[in-house]
Amino acid sequence: MPTAKNVKNTENAATAEATEPIEPIEPIEPAKSIESDESDESAEAVGMTKTTMTAKAARAGKATEDTKRPQSTRSAKGARPAKAAQSAGGAKSGKGVKGAGGAGGAKSARSAQSAQGATRGEPASAPASPDRRRELLDTAAEVFAAQGYNATTVRQIADAAGMLAGSLYYHFDSKESMVDEILATFLDELWAGYDAVLAADLEPRETIEALVTESFREIDRHRAAVAIYQKEARHLATQPRFDYLAASRQKFERAWLGTLERGVAEGVFRGDLDLRLAYRFLRDTVWVAASWYRPQGRHTPEEIARQYLAMVLDGIALPGTA
């Protein structure tokens, strides 16, 4: 049991301890400024720990990626040969098509383009029907005959045909192409008829009668083309494209003039006439009919030819009235 003295001594000791000065506590420097070996080792340990953790994370990620990669890698490897095979097969097929006939492939490509163009409202690349082409040429011939070749434009022909100028260019590349085909078609048919007459070995008068009749038939079929020929042939013949016009004119002269000369030689035609003048008269009076003749008129081509020949060969005066 503590005595009063012990209690007093204890109080005095506590009072003395309380009055002693307290030593200041030194501040702790930041960790980054610690330069002791121990601090360096700690920092190095921390760094190694972080590096180790990063490496582990990388290995873990790689492992995860590796678990996913095999399937895509196999797919890519599997697709690569397939792609190569496809490319080789396509190239081989293309080469085979070209070898067998490149035009077939080009034709298929044009067909596809035509279908696509038709979808866009563009004209298809299929050629126009012969009937449609003939209609357009007939229309162009009428315009050329009425206005003259130089004064006629493609737009005017298109307007007469009820179409756009661009659509007409789809059928013909120029008005030159149109007049070329118009004249060539007319002359081809004319000479088919003339050659048949000349090959028939008829008498001179019968030959003239047959040539005149065939001429009026061609006027009936190609009235506008005949008008173009009369107006434009001399000018167009100076161009290389129309050199056949001059050749046709020379052939025409030989056929008619030769028949007249043969008639004089055989005593069928009068010998006191200038045969070249007679030829020009026959030629011009026949073909000028294109300026007034109209199809489906009062007289057929054959009837007009008969009356014309009666006037030319027999005259209009009655025998014994001179």
| DSSP string computed for 140-174 | HHHHHHHH-TTT--HHHHHHHHTS-HHHHHHH-S-
- For the CA atoms of 309, 313, 317, 322, the dihedral, rounded to the nearest 10 degrees, stands at 170
Residue 201 gets which letter from DSSP?
-
Residue-wise burial string across 112-134, b where 16 or more C-beta atoms lie within 10 A, e elsewhere: eeeeeeeeeeeeeeeeeeeeeee
- Pair 279, 253: CB distance under 8 Å: yes
From residue 239, give the alpha-carbon distance in Å to each of 25, 45, 109, 189, 236: 121, 101, 37, 22, 6
d(CA 85, CA 78): 11
Determine contact, residues 144/152, Cβ cutoff 8 Å.
Answer: yes
* Domain range 176-314, its CATH number among 3.40.50.170, 3.40.50.620, 1.10.357.10, 3.40.50.2000: 1.10.357.10
Instruction: Write out the DSSP string of 93-139.
Output: HHHHHHHHHHHHHHHHHHHHHHHHHHHTTPPPSSPPPHHHHHHHHHH
Contact residues for 123 (Cβ-Cβ < 8 A; gap 6+): 117, 167, 170
Determine the Cα–Cα distance for residues 140 and 171; give it in Å rounded to an integer.
12
Cβ atoms of 295 and 220 within 8 Å: the answer is yes
Q: Which two tokens stand for residue 216?
A: 């009026």
Burial track 138-152 (b if 16+ CB lie within 10 A, e otherwise): ebbbbbbbeeebeeb
- Give the separation between CA 68 and CA 70, rounded to whole angstroms: 6
Q: Which amino acid is at 127?
A: P
The token pair at 248 is 């046709």
pLDDT along the chain (322 residues), means of 10: 48 46 46 42 42 48 46 41 41 38 39 37 54 96 97 97 94 96 98 98 96 97 96 96 96 96 94 93 92 87 95 78 56
Output the pLDDT for position 127: 60
pLDDT of residue 198: 97
List the domain boundaries for the chain. Answer: 176-314
CA–CA separation, 163 and 149 (whole Å): 20
Distance, CA of 88 to chain centre: 31
CA distances from 100 to 63, 111, 113, 186, 291 (A): 55, 19, 22, 40, 55
In one-letter notation, the amino acid at residue 254 is R
Separation of alpha carbons 210 and 196, rounded Å: 10
Rounded to 5 degrees, what are φ and ψ at 233? -60, -45
Residue 38's pLDDT is 42
Residues 6+ apart with CB under 8 A from 277: none
3-state secondary structure of 272: coil
Using only the alpha carbons of the chain, give its radius of gyration: 55
